[in-house]
Amino acid sequence: MAKVERSLGEKLQSLPKPVLYTILILVTSIPQFFPVPLPNKESKSSEDVFNLLTTIPEDQPVLIGSDWTNSTRGESGGLFKSMIRILMRRNIKFAIYTTADPQAPQVAKDVIRLLNEERKANNQKPYEVWTDWVSVGYFANPEGTANSINNNVRAAFADKKSPDAAGAMKPVMDSPVLANVKQVSDFSALVLVTASNTSNVTIERVTKTKLAMMVTGVMGPETQVYYESGQLKGLAIGLKGCYDLETMMAKKWPGKEYVNMDNGAKYYPTLHLALLLLILAVVAGNVGMFMTRKRTVQRGS
């Protein structure tokens, strides 16, 4: 009897890693074939982002920092899509720049191309590059860029080019999107979608316009600090934030022609199971520990 108990207790404490890993793979892959909608409660910070995006004036452009690539597309991708969808629905012009990764602009362009195809499919007018949005491109030095954006945005973007409607390369500042931008405060907001520490760099240096951020789950806590202190007007964190935005969009734009549910809806259910697995593993470990501990106590007495 005691034998069984001991072996069980110690088994629970020392499950071989391969077993754990295999279970994790199964748990994270199988459920994806059977997506199910989940109830949700939006967190305050995501609501603030949503409210910001849905209330900013339509005649002012938004400046978007897109500092993510495919390695974090699971979270950042979903957040980015939701934001762009909202802006497109409100016909707000936007300019995208990046300081994190040379690939980021391409990644962003690809997403926008997809969303445009989606709009065509739902016979909405596609967002034209140069007239409706423009990609400023990549800047190698985050600190310097943030400084000079805050200091003189025209100067910061001066020697960046983008193909115009006809496909000829022209300075981005000549584009209809940025035509009326004299300084950074002419943007209704700067929304930074980031998976790296460009968040701190930006908070430290860009002070002259509304700042909101969409960060990965891991950056949540440290960025939360700036949200609490009011330096950020809104903050969407990771997959939860993504799902929050998607549910809020679904409430605001219930129409069939609107695609609201995307990455968030796709991954959130699976995430639950994965987290559940983690909790179970921890519980198992502790139960095992207590079982063995009890045993030693018994022996001691």
Partner 1 sequence: MFDINLAPMLAQYYVGDQYRDTGWFGVLFTLMIALFVLFNIARAGKGKDLYIRRIPGLNAIDEAVGRATEMGRPVLMVPGLSDSVNAIVVQALNIFSYVSRIAARFSNPILLCCYNAAIYTVAQEMIRDVYQQEGLGDRFDPDSVRFISDRQFAFAAGVSGLILREQTAATFFLGDFYAESLIFAETANSIGAIQVASSTQPTQTPFFIAACDYVLIGDEFYAASAYLTRAPVLVGSLVGQDWAKLLMMSTIAVGSILGSFLMGPFSQKMISEEKVAGEYKPTKGFDEQPGPRPVKMEDTIIHQLLTPAPKGDVKVKREPDPDAPAPTDAAAPAGGGE
Partner 2 sequence: MNLDLLAQAATPPSFWNAPHGSTELWTKIIIAFVVGIAFIFALMAAPHKMRRPVVAFFTFISGLYYVLYYVWPVPVAKEPGTLPLNAAENVGFWLTDALPVVAKFSNVLSGFLLGLGIFSLLRVHGRRLFKMQKDWFFSLVLILSILLMVVVGYWDWYTRLDPKTSSKLQDPANWTSINVARDFVFDGMLQQMDAAMFSLIAFYILSAAYRAFRVRSIEATILLATALIVILSLMGAVEYLWGSGVASMFGFHDTVLADGTKQTAAEAMTAANSFGGNFTLTSIRGWIQSTVQTPSIRAIDWGIGIGALAMGLRLWLSLERTSGGNS
Partner 3 sequence: MDPELLLKIKMGVGVLATVGLYSVLYRENKFYRFWEHMFLGLAAGWAIVALWTESLHDDWYVKIVGNAPEAGSTAPTTPGYWAYVLLLPIGIMGYFVFSRKHNWLSRIPIGIILGLWSGQQVQVWFNRYGPQMADSIKPILPTTSSFFRPGTVGMSPTDAAAANSQVYVSDAITNIIFLITLLSAVSYFLFSVEMKNKFLKNMTVLGRMLLMVGFGAIFGSTVMMRFTLLIDRMYFIFIEFLKNGLFGGT
Residues that bind partner 3 (CB under 8 A): 17-18, 21, 24-25, 28-29, 32-33, 71-75, 102, 138, 140-141, 143, 159, 161, 168-171, 174, 200, 203-205, 207, 216-218, 220-221, 225, 228-231, 237-240, 263, 266-267, 270-271, 274-275, 278
Using CB under 8 A as the binding rule, whether residue 292 contacts partner 1 is answered as: no
Nearer to partner 3, 108 or 237 (CB): 237
* Among partner 2, partner 1, partner 3, none, residue 157 binds (CB under 5-8 Å by kind): partner 1
Nearer to partner 2, 56 or 115 (CB): 115
Using CB under 8 A as the binding rule, whether residue 149 contacts partner 1 is answered as: yes
Report whether 67 contacts 225 (CB < 8 A). no
Q: In whole angstroms, how close is the CB of 262 to partner 3 at the nearest point?
A: 12
Neighbours of 160 (CB within 10 A): 18
Nearest C-alpha neighbor of 265 from the set 252, 248, 246: 246
Q: What is the largest CA-CA distance in the chain?
A: 88
Residue in 73, 89, 90, 154 binding partner 1, rule: CB under 8 A: 154
Using CB under 8 A as the binding rule, whether residue 156 contacts partner 1 is answered as: yes
Q: Which stretch binds partner 1 (CB under 8 A): 59-67, 117-125, 149-157, 162-170?
A: 149-157
Residue in 45, 148, 175, 188 binding partner 1, rule: CB under 8 A: 148
Query: How would you class 206 by CB atoms within 10 Å of its CB: exposed for 0-12, middle for 13-18, buried for 19 or more?
Result: buried
* Among partner 2, partner 1, partner 3, none, residue 149 binds (CB under 5-8 Å by kind): partner 1
**Residue position matching structure tokens 């603030």:** 48
Residues 6+ apart with CB under 8 A from 12: 284, 285, 287, 288, 291
**Residue position matching structure tokens 């960046």:** 160
Strand 169-171 relative to strand 161-163, pairing: antiparallel
Neighbours of 43 (CB within 10 A): 14
Task: Taking each helix axis as running N to C, give the angle between helix 78-89 and helix 238-252, from 0 to 180 degrees, rounded to the nearest 10.
Answer: 30
Q: In whole angstroms, how close is the CB of 57 to partner 3 at the nearest point?
A: 25
Q: Which stretch binds partner 2 (CB under 8 A): 2-10, 47-55, 77-85, 139-147?
A: 139-147
